[in-house]
Amino acid sequence: MAQITQYLIWVVTLVAISSSSDSWVGLVGVEGTVIGVNWGRNASHPLPPSKVVELLKANNVTRVRLYDADPSALEALSGSRIQAMVGIPNFMLRTFNSSFKAAQSWVHKNLTRYFSSGSSKIRIQYVAVGDEPFLQSYDGQYTPFVVGAATNVQAALTKASIADQVKVVVPCSYDAFLSESGLPSKGHFRPDLNKTMTQLLTFLARHNSPFLASISPFHLLQQNRNMSLSFSLFRETSHPRNDHHKLYTNSFDLSYDTLLTALSSAGFGHMDIIIGQIGWPTDGAVNANSSMAATFMKGFLGHLRSKSGTPLRPRDPPKEAYILSLLDEDQRSIADGSFERHWGIFTFDGQAKYQVDLAEGSGHLMNAQNVEYRSAKWCVVNNNKDLSNASANALKACSIADCSALSPGGSCYNLTWPGNISYAFNSYYQQHDQSPDSCDFGGLGLVTTVDPSVDSCRFLVQLQTSFGVSLVVSSSLHLILLLMAVFLV
Ligand SMILES: *[C@@H]1O[C@H](CO)[C@@H](O)[C@H](O)[C@H]1NC(C)=O
Ligand SMILES: *[C@@H]1O[C@H](CO)[C@@H](O)[C@H](O)[C@H]1NC(C)=O
Ligand SMILES: *[C@@H]1O[C@H](CO)[C@@H](O)[C@H](O)[C@H]1NC(C)=O
Ligand SMILES: *[C@@H]1O[C@H](CO)[C@@H](O)[C@H](O)[C@H]1NC(C)=O
Ligand SMILES: *[C@@H]1O[C@H](CO)[C@@H](O)[C@H](O)[C@H]1NC(C)=O
Ligand SMILES: *[C@@H]1O[C@H](CO)[C@@H](O)[C@H](O)[C@H]1NC(C)=O
Ligand SMILES: *[C@@H]1O[C@H](CO)[C@@H](O)[C@H](O)[C@H]1NC(C)=O
Ligand SMILES: *[C@@H]1O[C@H](CO)[C@@H](O)[C@H](O)[C@H]1NC(C)=O
Ligand SMILES: *[C@@H]1O[C@H](CO)[C@@H](O)[C@H](O)[C@H]1NC(C)=O
Ligand SMILES: *[C@@H]1O[C@H](CO)[C@@H](O)[C@H](O)[C@H]1NC(C)=O
């Protein structure tokens, strides 16, 4: 009798667990596209991983892509129900191509331990080999290593008995496929990638892995590839592009079907596609502001949720899409443009820039809570000094700090001289944790407690990322001073 009762409890518990996880999956849509976010950490003062994970949870985000296997980020995710994609940086590809042992060691050190049972378990769904290694600006330097590295990583996963849980993917940049005529039916992979793509697609198909691609209507608009703003932003357009009676009303569908044609003509037309990066920046360029980003995101998410698919794959939207990006990153490379530091749905400190329904929830984003900032102090140029050298100092500051908002079209572009010099000084000062010598600039700098922000141009105060340490140091310093004072008395 007791045994039967125990058995019944066991069954009831199992049913309860499986139905609760079902409803959790249902929240993000089973047949539709699951929405994830890219969590990049190229910031001088990154939001602490625990705060980022709280932010993800508060916004019901269930998938996240990391660009490496940073233990602090992975540990913060452990025990959450958020599934992760972890990345292998490009600089490791050469080694991983030539050495199975290196790939095996990476898998062992950075993955295997999260698969043991217990509270530290993390659901790692994908390993992304390289970070857009085919990007045209890399000039092919990583291309020869990609398939070899992916093959060795796959073998290492198999050896570690986790290949049934983790799939190997390769992030493919938006510029790896194209159509000169602008018509999707003429889509193809970039000719320099032809041989590599054939090998990669064969590899992915053999392991039943999806094709991971970035789609970037913003880059295409910037590069003037015959795109209009309304076409890029999912706004109703009275001039749809007509491709053999297939009508294209937005840039996303056009890119997606260009990729589909490229896959089909290579013989892999049925491969699943995952969108690895898609978004709209909010600063640092013309057409980059938060109201346009909101329009784009609403249009994109609405399109996915309509489940209409694209003209070449109707009613079959991509399985997953990762938004670029969760947060702004002030140390991302700006080789492609100053906007690269402003992809976040949230600012660097986890505050929503606009409202968007990320997870079919309330439609109202939750901000990061209890964020610690440095003091309300700014560094500006001292107008009472001879400013003939100020611009040279500002340029030097900008070569290290983040002045992307001063670019044409940026939120601070309209600052007149010497306001823009102050912006540069302050950016450098905040990046250097407000240390007094970082507001010197040959005597031209001045610390102020009056916020110099004007309109949409915000003079930032950075995060207090080393809070714990400096608190301990300063409080022990206080203690010493106190003791000295007592002694002196
Ligand atoms: C930092 O940014 C570069 C591109 O600017 C990217 O390739 C890299 O993966 C990023 N790293 C992290 C940890 O986010
Ligand atoms: C990649 O690794 C293979 C196997 O070790 C090697 O034969 C090949 O030359 C490597 N490719 C490059 C471009 O170094
Ligand atoms: C992962 O493993 C390699 C050893 O193969 C190590 O060099 C690296 O620092 C580890 N950590 C990360 C974040 O990749
Ligand atoms: C540009 O778009 C127009 C109309 O949408 C089309 O007729 C033309 O062929 C396109 N040109 C290029 C180079 O894509
Ligand atoms: C490589 O080029 C050939 C000939 O142009 C083409 O048929 C094939 O689809 C291309 N393969 C890939 C993977 O792009
Ligand atoms: C964004 O840019 C558009 C077009 O330049 C402009 O109409 C709009 O007012 C801007 N929005 C914000 C919030 O700056
Ligand atoms: C997250 O999901 C919960 C439960 O469904 C819901 O009440 C809440 O509004 C959602 N939050 C957001 C930001 O969507
Ligand atoms: C400007 O910089 C130059 C070279 O660093 C220096 O010789 C000159 O004295 C500076 N002028 C002023 C007004 O500070
Ligand atoms: C900057 O000034 C130009 C011209 O006066 C104006 O069109 C633009 O909206 C302004 N930009 C911002 C960000 O205020
Ligand atoms: C500041 O603005 C002046 C013109 O008003 C310009 O010549 C200078 O390059 C700008 N400096 C920076 C750092 O943006």
Are residues 190 and 312 both part of a single domain?
yes
Are residues 2 and 129 both part of a single domain?
no
pLDDT tens figures, 199-208: 999 999 999 9
Residue whose C-alpha is closest to residue 75's, from 67, 84, 88, 87: 84
Would residue 373 count as lying in a domain?
no
Residue 331 CA: distances (Å) to CA of 49, 241, 339, 371: 17, 38, 12, 20
Domain carrying residue 420: 378-486
Residue ranges lining ligand 2, Cβ < 6 Å: 97-98, 144-145, 148
Q: What is the pLDDT of residue 481?
A: 46
Could you tell me the pTM of the whole model?
A: 0.89
Q: Which residues pair with 454 in a beta bridge?
A: 457
H helices, E strands: number in the chain = 14, 17
| Cα–ligand 5 centroid distance for 185 (angstroms) | 14
Distance CA 108, CA 104 (A): 6
Atom number of ligand 1 nearest to Cα 132: 7
Are residues 79 and 216 both part of a single domain?
yes
- The CATH number assigned to the domain holding 217 equals 3.20.20.80
Q: Over 50: is that where the pLDDT of 27 sits? A: no
Are residues 261 and 207 both part of a single domain?
yes
Q: Over 80: is that where the pLDDT of 470 sits? A: no
Distance CA 329, CA 340 (A): 8
Would residue 368 count as lying in a domain?
no
Are residues 24 and 42 both part of a single domain?
no
Are residues 143 and 238 both part of a single domain?
yes
Kindly report the protein residue whose alpha carbon is nearest to atom 5 of ligand 3: 106
Confidence of residue 224 (pLDDT cuts 50, 70, 90): confident
| Cα–ligand 9 centroid distance for 316 (angstroms) | 42
Q: What is the pLDDT of residue 156?
A: 98
Would residue 272 count as lying in a domain?
yes
Would residue 355 count as lying in a domain?
no
Q: Is 437 in the pocket of ligand 8 (CB under 6 A)?
A: no
- Nearest ligand to the CA of 109 is 3
Q: Is 406 in the pocket of ligand 10 (CB under 6 A)?
A: yes
Would residue 81 count as lying in a domain?
yes
Question: What number is the average pLDDT over the span 405-425?
Answer: 97
Count of domains for the chain: 3
- Planar angle of CA 129, 341, 224, nearest 5 degrees: 90
Confidence of residue 304 (pLDDT cuts 50, 70, 90): very high
Would residue 84 count as lying in a domain?
yes
Are residues 392 and 442 both part of a single domain?
yes
Query: How far does CA 244 lie from the centroid of its chain?
Result: 36
Are residues 62 and 22 both part of a single domain?
no
Are residues 75 and 189 both part of a single domain?
yes
| Cα–ligand 2 centroid distance for 96 (angstroms) | 10
Who's near 239: CB < 8 A, 6+ residues apart? 228
Are residues 289 and 427 both part of a single domain?
no
Place of tokens 């703003």: 229
Q: Annotated catalytic, 31?
A: no
Query: How far does CA 236 lie from the centroid of its chain?
Result: 28
Would residue 216 count as lying in a domain?
yes
| Cα–ligand 8 centroid distance for 459 (angstroms) | 27
Q: Residue 205's CB: how many other CB atoms inside 10 A?
A: 14
Q: Residue 453's CB: how many other CB atoms inside 10 A?
A: 15
Are residues 24 and 104 both part of a single domain?
no
Coil vs helix vs strand at 202: helix
Q: What is the pLDDT of residue 363?
A: 82
Q: Is 389 in the pocket of ligand 8 (CB under 6 A)?
A: yes
Q: Residue 474's CB: how many other CB atoms inside 10 A?
A: 10
Residue whose C-alpha is closest to residue 127's, from 107, 98, 108: 107
Give the residue, 475 or 436, on which the prediction is more confident.
436
Q: Is 241 in the pocket of ligand 4 (CB under 6 A)?
A: yes
Residue from 132, 320, 329, 340 carrying the catalytic annotation: 132
Would residue 351 count as lying in a domain?
no
Atom number of ligand 6 nearest to Cα 286: 5
Of 341, 365, 390, the one marking the end of a domain is 341
Are residues 454 and 384 both part of a single domain?
yes
